[in-house]
């Protein structure tokens, strides 16, 4: 193999740049030519490709976002779009592709491999931490840090006003950001899609806390909670706040959506290291002729695993962390 490509796809996440950096530098040190494909599969279909040098990736290890750009591209799900993507790869002589993204991005990579013979390696880049085969995805640690820092700031104003706050965090259908951030900032309650939502119990916790003089209750809520029992997601912070107000009309409470701030700012040192190690491992896989592998980390060991097997795994909810969030904040 002489030429490889790298793209970032789906929701951006801190650590993607670190993975791009290591992919490029390691590939160059193996004597490979590396092409950066801009805007995920959109750029692959439209042929937005540039050769990358060591200089091209200088100073990006720490930076949030992705210097390659990203996109969600429905055309990649069509045979016509996939053919255009392959035409671009063939035009540049790209035989191996490193895809940095979530499970959707891996599905796209799988198609390129199975139907068109391109060698593909996936690096898990998503703040959601919703991939079962790996302990951590790139960006998760950074997103949790953003939430913890935001809640620290919120506490200042909530506590002096004797006011509670419902804080909505990202994570699509996965409560990991909420539960790990809850540990990191001592949230008084956490509501996640993996657990039944009980508005009465939540209101009772707040009522009890107020009765013992604890007024700045932070309630972390996942965006995918579906607290109203419908399939509609979104506005969860407001919905939960209204549920509490229905039960405790006198309560002083606000709601905040942290939103895309969670995907911004420098990557934590953890995500930088993970991105670099995973990028290096992806290049190693390609130089060994491997394909259809995804990179992961378990118990501090980085590994590669079959892409389909990894995608078939079902994520188990971290009950231990969830229970800890509850036992730490009993008043």
Q: Which member of 3, 30, 72, 163 binds ligand ADP (CB under 6 A)?
A: 72
Residues contacting ligand F6P: total by CB under 6 A: 10
CB-based contact 21:279 (threshold 8 Å): yes
Quote the CA–CA distance of 222 and 170 in Å, as a whole number.
6
Quote the CA–CA distance of 61 and 231 in Å, as a whole number.
39
First to last CA, the chain: 61
Catalytic one of 12, 39, 103, 128: 128
* Residue 228 is among the residues annotated as catalytic for this protein: no
Which option in ligand F6P, ligand ADP, none does residue 49 bind, with CB closer than 5 to 8 A by kind? none
**Which is it for strands 253-257 and 301-306: parallel, antiparallel or unpaired?**
unpaired
CB-based contact 301:315 (threshold 8 Å): no
Is residue 6 within the footprint of ligand ADP (CB under 6 A)? Answer: no
Stretch binding ligand ADP (CB under 6 A), from 5-13, 186-194, 294-302, 310-318: 5-13
Of 32 and 109, the one with the shorter C-beta distance to ligand F6P is: 109
One DSSP character per residue, 180-191 reads HHHHHHT-SEEE
Is residue 164 within the footprint of ligand ADP (CB under 6 A)? Answer: no
Of 35 and 41, the one with the shorter C-beta distance to ligand ADP is: 41
Name residues contacting ligand ADP, limited to 111-140 (CB under 6 A). 111, 126
Is residue 126 within the footprint of ligand F6P (CB under 6 A)? Answer: yes
Of 40 and 239, the one with the shorter C-beta distance to ligand ADP is: 40
Stretch binding ligand F6P (CB under 6 A), from 126-134, 203-211, 288-296, 310-318: 126-134
Angle at 287 between CA 281 and CA 290, to 5 degrees: 80
Name residues contacting ligand F6P, limited to 3-32 (CB under 6 A). 11
Quote the CA–CA distance of 209 and 84 in Å, as a whole number.
59
Stretch binding ligand ADP (CB under 6 A), from 20-28, 69-77, 194-202, 289-297: 69-77
**Which is it for strands 119-124 and 293-298: parallel, antiparallel or unpaired?**
parallel
Name residues contacting ligand ADP, limited to 27-56 (CB under 6 A). 41
Quote the CA–CA distance of 296 and 159 in Å, as a whole number.
40
Quote the CA–CA distance of 253 and 157 in Å, as a whole number.
12
Stretch binding ligand F6P (CB under 6 A), from 27-35, 74-82, 124-132, 310-318: 124-132
- Give catalytic residue positions: 128
């Amino acid at each position: 193999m002489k030429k490889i490509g790298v793209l970032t796809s789906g929701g951006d996440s801190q650590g993607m740049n670190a993975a791009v950096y290591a992919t490029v530098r390691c590939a160059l040190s193996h004597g490979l030519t590396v092409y950066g494909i801009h805007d995920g599969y959109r750029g692959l279909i439209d042929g937005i490709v540039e050769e990358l040098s060591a200089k091209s990736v200088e100073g990006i290890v720490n930076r949030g976002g992705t210097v390659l750009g990203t996109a969600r591209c429905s055309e990649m799900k069509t045979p016509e779009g996939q053919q255009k993507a392959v035409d671009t790869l063939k035009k540049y002589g790209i035989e191996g592709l490193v895809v940095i993204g979530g499970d959707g991005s891996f599905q796209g990579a799988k198609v390129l491999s199975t139907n068109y013979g391109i060698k593909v390696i996936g690096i898990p880049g998503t703040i959601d931490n919703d991939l079962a085969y790996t302990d951590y995805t790139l960006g998760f640690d950074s997103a949790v840090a953003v939430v913890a820092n935001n809640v620290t700031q919120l506490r200042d104003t909530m506590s002096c006003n004797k006011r509670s706050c419902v804080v909505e965090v990202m994570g699509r259908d996965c409560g990991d950001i909420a539960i790990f951030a809850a540990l990191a900032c001592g949230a008084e309650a956490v509501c996640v899609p993996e657990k039944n939502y009980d508005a009465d119990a939540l209101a009772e916790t707040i009522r009890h806390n107020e009765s013992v003089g604890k007024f700045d209750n932070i309630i972390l809520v996942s965006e995918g909670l579906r607290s109203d029992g419908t399939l509609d997601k979104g506005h969860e912070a407001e919905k939960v706040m209204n549920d509490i107000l229905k039960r405790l009309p006198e309560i002083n409470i606000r709601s905040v959506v942290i939103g895309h701030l969670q995907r911004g700012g420098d990557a934590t040192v953890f995500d930088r290291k993970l991105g670099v190690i995973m990028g290096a491992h992806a290049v190693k896989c390609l130089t060994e002729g491997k394909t259809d592998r995804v990179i992961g980390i378990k118990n501090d060991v980085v590994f590669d695993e079959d892409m389909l097997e990894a995608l078939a795994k079902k994520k188990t909810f971290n009950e231990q962390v969830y229970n800890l969030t509850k036992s730490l904040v009993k008043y």
